[in-house]
Amino acid sequence: YVYAYSCDLYVENKKIGSESGQLSVNALTKKVEKWDDRVEIVFSLDQSYRRLEPMLDAEDAKGLVRDEVVRVYSYEREIIRDDGQVTVVEKKKVSPRAEDVRLEGRGIFYSPIWCVEGIHGVMIVNAGTGKIISEDYYQL
């Protein structure tokens, strides 16, 4: 699942900025990652393949994206005030409000995945990027 998001950032109920971007949720591992628009998309395959069904629905994916946006953009910021002879340094929390995160669904994209099994274990590889998704070694 891919979602575009936008949110306003607040410090003590005062808006100080906004952020936007796109995140994807792997429907098998539930891992949330930044989505790159430059991903090469193939609309059909000439070889036979098996398409796995998502392990979560769109609403669950939305919740994971919303939680990730709040986590990524929540941080502490030092605010320095100079009151003449006294310098006051305050730590304030900057964060978006979960209920104010705006999400727009971009659709479901299926990634080609290879499952490679050998004598030492099983490895799952993203066939598009070559990145290893998971490794599971056999107990000897």
Alpha helices in the chain (DSSP H): 58-72
pLDDT exceeds 80 at position 32: yes
102 contacts 6 by C-beta, under 8 angstroms = yes
Distance from C-alpha of 113 to C-alpha of 126, rounded to nearest angstrom: 5
Q: Which residue has the higher pLDDT, 112 or 120?
A: 120
pLDDT exceeds 90 at position 101: yes
pTM for this prediction: 0.75
Distance from C-alpha of 77 to C-alpha of 56, rounded to nearest angstrom: 36
Q: What is the mean pLDDT of residues 52-76?
A: 92
Could you tell me the pLDDT band of residue 84, with boundaries at 50, 70 and 90?
confident
pLDDT at 116: 87
pLDDT at 50: 79
Residue 64 phi, psi (nearest 5): -65, -40
Q: How many CA atoms lie within 13 A of 119 on its CB side?
A: 0
54 contacts 108 by C-beta, under 8 angstroms = yes
Residue 30 phi, psi (nearest 5): 65, 25
24 contacts 4 by C-beta, under 8 angstroms = no
